[in-house]
Amino acid sequence: MSDEHLLAGPSAGQLDFSARLASLGIPIGLALGLIPPLAYGFTGPVAIAVLAGLVVGPATVSTALAARSVAAAKRERAAGYSTMFDFARYELRDPRTRQLLRGADVKPTGVMRRSLLGSMLTVKPGTLLAKRLEEDERAGG
């Protein structure tokens, strides 16, 4: 299958990563919203409004991005590929580059959600970094 069936816009994997990143703002907002009231004794409706804003904002953004990710995953599956899950009979594509990782005719390795961050931190075989690490390993014994 050629790349003509690939959808425009952010992939489901990219949107999922963004949703997870936005959800980190919830505990950060909670901590930032609780420090002044606990440290300085601020109370009342203003403190509650600030705390709510710092928590509700990231929660709203995260929820919206997660909903977009689910919708994108459905569109991708209808187009015959996935950037988030390893489905049988569907192509598996890299979330960022949309490069083919596994063809639809190849048995999937699992149905687990792929980690965009993990794939970004994985050293791909044949890359310059992989070759350098192999050389260093041979030289070091």
Q: For 5-52, how does the pLDDT look when each residue is reduced to its tens digit (9 = 90+)?
A: 788 888 998 999 999 999 999 999 888 888 877 777 777 887 888 888
The burial of 6, by beta-carbon neighbours within 10 Å (0-12 exposed, 13-18 middle, 19 or more buried), is given as middle
Contact 7, 72 (CB under 8 A): yes
Q: Which of 5-14, 66-75, 121-130 has the highest mean pLDDT?
A: 66-75
DSSP letter (8 states) at residue 86: -
Which amino acid is located at 125 in the chain?
A: P
Distance from C-alpha of 131 to C-alpha of 106, rounded to nearest angstrom? 27
- For the entire predicted model, the pTM comes to 0.68
Q: Which two tokens stand for residue 25?
A: 């703002």
Element (H, E) at 94: none
